[in-house]
Chains A and B, each alone.
Chain A
Amino acid sequence: MIETKSVDRDPSEKSNTKVFVLVFLMLCVLTALSFWVANSYLMENKVVGWAAMMMVSVAKAMLVILFFMHLWWERAWKYVLTIPALFMGLLLVLLLVPDVGYRYLTYSKDRRENAPEPVVSELTEGDSVIPISD
């Protein structure tokens, strides 16, 4: 019969504990890193900051999946389950990219009129001296 309980995994438990503690510390450091990025000069160019934070998130997720969810030690079956799901997830996000671009780049008159006010005002400070009409 097929019994997989824990045969696939690293037999030396002590080293496992060490790995888990190490992963935990890395996760803490990465969380601090993304918090630092959010308040650093990297956010001056928002796209750079966002990309950096997403990369940190992906790294954290990979650490959790590989070590806490034991995929590192699993056999080849892990690819059967994870790769299709990953593809579906990626596909879903990538399908949305044109939508984001369309929304961002085309700002129709109708949408402009019904959209929330852009905070960046079209007036400069000099223009704003407007007397009250009576």
Chain B
Amino acid sequence: MNSKASPSDSTKIAKGDKDEGSHTHIELKYQPAVPVPKGKLAVWLFLSTEIMFFTALIGTYIVLRFGAPEGTWPTPEDVRVLEWLGAVNTFVLICSSVTVVFGMEAAKQNHPGKAKKWLLATFVLGCGFLGIKAYEYNSKFEHGIHPGTPRSLLYDRADLNYLSAVKANLDAEILKIEKKKTALASESVHSHGGGEKDLILIRAGLVQWTQKTVGETESPMVRQLVLESLAHQINPRRPNPRVETYLANEAADVKNQIAELLGQQEVVDEDVRQLQERVNAITKELGLEQDETKKSNIEIRLATATDESKAAATRSTEVVDLLAPLESRIAAYQQFNQIHDGLNEHFHLRLPMVIPSGNTWANTYFLMTGFHALHVLGGLIAFIVLMTFRLDSSKAGLMENVGLYWHFVDIVWIFLFPLLYLF
């Protein structure tokens, strides 16, 4: 019957014990503390420990998330979280909770076929949830969002450490293309040529320029801005007027420097030309001259002219050397400034990105959703085992226990969804 019977039961045992004296052994009867089947009690106790387990995980997230000052926690767009996909997954889990309840009801009414169908529907929905989760994980891995090193491409701030990571990554990428180029026949490489050109421009115009500026500038502000602008061009998180103004001003300044250097180059080139002409003239004169004393005189003049000409040529190459980084900087500015989705997206690169607290976010995200997904997986295995039985009313209790666990998994997701997708 139920718990109301238990006091009378126990008194009966006591009486029976007295009446029959020492002839029989004491008849021990199981007296449950809670009037529910043992299995159900076990599941509920297990779930109470699970509540604390997930509370600990969620609590850790809450401390990190809400303890982070304004603006230092990634937004959903930063870390490629799609809110609607999370909402769809919530819906899928709610549906699966309903189907498992209907399955249990069917088993209770002794309809094993119906019960199995509902269970199958629950199983399919659970698989759907995991499928969407796998898709989400994959899209994060594709963008270099991993729980920490060595795979993570996320950096907390744009600093020298970040710059050297970008440089190493880019060098490796270019080396890979070059290796492929030498391995392949030359005619089939043309499609890759454009990509390599872009990479080389990124290296010269962005990375090496940033290195140069950081090394040369005295102002920490400029150092910070040039590093920030590199991070912004690789992966813009939001419109950043500060960086955009800096880049525009810098481009204007670089243009002025180029104009100045081109002016210098003209003068130097004119020098080089005149000196070369003088050398030629003197050489000619030398050829025509017969007098030995005059000849030696001309030879000295020739040597001086040649030296001067060489010096002018050196000056000319110096100017060219000065021009080269400026020109690649301006080329990079003109080519990349119009790209609004960032170099990583645009060229399908995997350069390191700056996302403040990105790694901390990834750690908590993968920890919580990973443990939740493992629980879903456990539920799916339980469903498979359950489906091997004939699900008549004798199995209703078992189905209820599995259902209780499944609903708990649903409840965890009910809290994870707003915390991870909407906050």
Contact = CB atoms under 8 A, between A and B. Distances in A.
A134 B212 CA distance: 11
A52 to B, nearest CB: 9
Given A16-B105, A38-B83, A38-B418, A80 B34 contact: yes
Contacts of B34: 77, 80-81
Given A5-B396, A38-B418, A54-B418, A20 B108 contact: no
A9 B203 CA distance: 71
A132 B217 contact: yes
Nearest to B257: A134
Interface centre among A56, A107, A121 (most CB of B within 10 A): A121
Contacts of A1: 1
Nearest to A26: B94
Contacts of B66: 100, 104
A10 to B, nearest CB: 11
Contact of A125 (B63, B91, B245, B422): B245
A2 B72 contact: no
A44 interface: no
Given A2-B35, A20-B102, 6 more contacts: A5-B396, A24-B94, A54-B418, A103-B63, A130-B219, A134-B216
A43 B115 CA distance: 43
Contacts of A69: 403-404, 407-408
A3 interface: yes
A17 B105 contact: yes
Interface string B276-316: 00000000000000000000000000000000000000000
15 contacts: A4-B35, A24-B94, A31-B91, A35-B84, A38-B422, A39-B83, A61-B414, A64-B410, A68-B98, A68-B410, A69-B404, A115-B69, A116-B357, A130-B222, A132-B250
Contacts of B250: 132
A107 B422 contact: no
A71 B417 CA distance: 24
Interface stretch (B15-23, B45-53, B170-178, B339-347): B45-53
Contacts of B357: 116
Given A64-B407, A107-B69, A119-B72, A89 B157 contact: no
B5 interface: yes
Contacts of A68: 97-98, 101, 403, 407, 410
A123 B221 CA distance: 10
B403 A120 contact: no
Interface of B: 1-3, 5-6, 32, 34-37, 44-45, 47-48, 51-52, 55-56, 58-59, 62-63, 66-72, 83-84, 87, 90-91, 94-95, 97-98, 101-102, 105, 108-109, 156-158, 213, 216-219, 221-222, 225, 237-238, 241-242, 245-246, 249-250, 253-254, 257, 354, 356-357, 396-397, 400, 403-404, 407-408, 410-411, 414-415, 417-418, 421-423
Interface residues of A, number: 72
A110 interface: no
Contact of B356 (A17, A117, A129): A117
Contacts of B237: 119
Interface of A: 1-8, 13, 16-17, 20-21, 23-24, 27-28, 31-32, 34-35, 37-39, 50, 53-54, 56-57, 60-61, 64-65, 68-70, 74-75, 77, 80-82, 84-86, 88-89, 92-93, 96, 99-100, 102-104, 107, 115-121, 123, 125, 128-134
Given A104-B67, A116-B356, A117-B157, A57 B418 contact: yes
Contact of B414 (A57, A82, A129): A57
A131 B249 contact: yes
Contacts of B221: 130
A6 B396 contact: yes
A76 B98 CA distance: 25
A2 B5 contact: yes
Contacts of A6: 108, 396
A74 to B, nearest CB: 8
A133 B222 contact: yes
Contacts of B414: 57, 60-61, 64
A17 B2 CA distance: 25
A22 B396 CA distance: 22
**In the A-B complex, the 3 residue pairs with the closest CB atoms:** A116-B356, A103-B67, A85-B48
Contacts of A8: 2
A77 B69 CA distance: 44
A92 B218 CA distance: 50
